[in-house]
């Protein structure tokens, strides 16, 4: 498992593409707690909310960042917060799709998060029961075909975020 700065370096060092499959309804990220509280109270989220600098730090270098979030309606408070931030990620250049399992069934996807970098390195994400990040497990090269298949299924089944959000905001 890799964590902390070593995991963060993956986002600085990939060359072309980063894809994430998200599957949790709650993520417990200490750095987000204050921001979530502001969001839930209706406070102004500030300029970074409208154009995510972390995403932009990658896309401004010509890198592609994308994700598909698998979820179920009704949205948890955390998902309302996260999805409300997605327009700023999209403005910064990230491509985001949504699979809402209450609207249609999708088979053949894993029940866990993962990242694929440059279509060659896969990291299975591990979390506690409350959604706190434990670490990224580097998957062996033999797992790449399976995870590419998951990515391709997710991308094919996903609804573009804007279309989803228009119906569910």
pTM assigned to the model: 0.95
- What tokens does 2 get? 């890799």
Q: Is-cis flag, bond preceding 74, omega within 30? A: yes
Record the tokens describing residue 163, joined without a space: 């279309």
How many other C-beta atoms can be found within 10 angstroms of the C-beta atom of residue 94?
Answer: 22
Dist CA 21 CA 63 (whole Å) = 18
Distances from the Cα of 12 to the Cα of 37, 77, 104, 136, 138, angstroms: 29, 30, 36, 16, 17
Q: How confident is the model at residue 75 (pLDDT cuts 50, 70, 90)?
A: very high
Residue 113 burial (CB count, 10 A): 21
How do residues 12-56 score in pLDDT, each as one tens digit? 999 999 999 999 999 999 888 999 999 999 998 988 889 999 999
The full set of domain ranges for the chain reads 4-168
The structural architecture, per CATH, of the domain 4-168 is 2-Layer Sandwich (3.30)
Summarised one tens digit per residue, pLDDT across range 113-126 is: 999 999 999 999 99
């Amino acid at each position: 498992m890799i964590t902390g700065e070593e995991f963060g370096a993956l986002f600085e060092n990939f060359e072309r593409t980063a894809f994430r499959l998200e599957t949790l309804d709650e993520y417990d990220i200490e750095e987000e707690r204050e921001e979530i509280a502001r969001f839930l109270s209706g406070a102004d989220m500030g300029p970074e909310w409208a154009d995510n600098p972390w995403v932009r730090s990658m896309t401004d270098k010509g890198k592609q960042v994308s994700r598909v979030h698998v979820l179920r309606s009704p949205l948890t408070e955390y998902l309302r917060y996260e999805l409300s931030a997605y327009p700023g990620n999209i403005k910064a250049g990230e491509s985001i799709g949504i699979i809402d399992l209450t609207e249609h069934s999708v088979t053949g996807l894993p029940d866990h998060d993962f990242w694929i970098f440059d279509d060659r390195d896969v990291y299975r994400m591990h979390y506690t029961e409350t959604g706190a990040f434990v670490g990224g497990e580097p998957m062996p090269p033999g797992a790449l075909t399976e995870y590419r298949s998951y990515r391709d299924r997710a991308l094919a089944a996903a609804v573009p975020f804007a279309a989803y959000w228009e119906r569910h905001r």
